Amino acid sequence: MNKEVEFQHLGLIDYQEAWDFQEQLFRKVIEVKLSNRKRNNPVPTPNYLLFCEHNHVFTIGKSGKSEHLLLDQQGLTQNQVKFYQINRGGDITYHGPGQIVGYPILDLDNFFTDIHRYLRTLEEAVIKTLADYEIEAGRIEGLTGVWLDHRPNPGAMPRKICALGVKASRWVTMHGFALNINTDLSYFNHIVPCGIEDKAVTSMAKELDIKLDLNEVSQCLRNHIASEFQMQLNIPND
């Protein structure tokens, strides 16, 4: 099993450009897996972890409902936000500046072949990152993502701080997660986030009442992902 993972931070990048790059790496990994069937001595399949930010964009997964987008084309144009229907699981979400969006392109044969465990492991890395900033977070049974006020409490509204939506084929993953750090939360008013109407959305900046250093949070998060997956990250210039 190859636990080496090439890490790249793509910076602020157009959503379509990042999606095309994901697809390119995704196909590369699958092609290696398929060619290994014909080899007497299989070669290791590569793994990648991409971090980036996007300009304002709404994306909706295969199981999403179009009515969860509350803007028409004119509204999208006025708010300078793009919209994509994509091939991940999950409903609608927002990406924009001030988020860390993570795209792991992993061959799970190198780690563990269990999609539910994969999602929970990504969530755990986010939960531990938030704990480093003294934000208590957790899960809500039956829902993906990371939440604040996740335990039943009549006086508190659960608030999502990180959304997840993935695709997997032949145990190779793509798409991933979006952690709200310094995010402009007003954009979530234009959608029903993840199709859930009775819960709210938050960010690290809102919870801590300070603006955070994205690079610092990024380093913390990537280290927790590496630890949770027991991967060896290859980081350029690091």
How far apart CA 67 and CA 59 sit, in angstroms, is 13
Burial class (CB in 10 A: 0-12, 13-18, 19+), 105: buried
Task: Report whether 5 contacts 234 (CB < 8 A).
Answer: yes
Give the pair of three-digit tokens for residue 78.
């006025």
Could you say which of 52, 162, 194, 220 is catalytic? Answer: 194
CB 181 within 8 A of CB 203: yes
Neighbours of 233 (CB within 10 A): 18
112 in Cβ contact with 230 (< 8 Å): no
Rounded (5°) CA angle 167-57-24? 40
Count, residues in the chain: 238
**Tokens 């991409």 correspond to what residue?**
50
Q: Is 194 a catalytic residue?
A: yes
Contact 164, 126 (CB under 8 A): no
List active site positions. Answer: 194
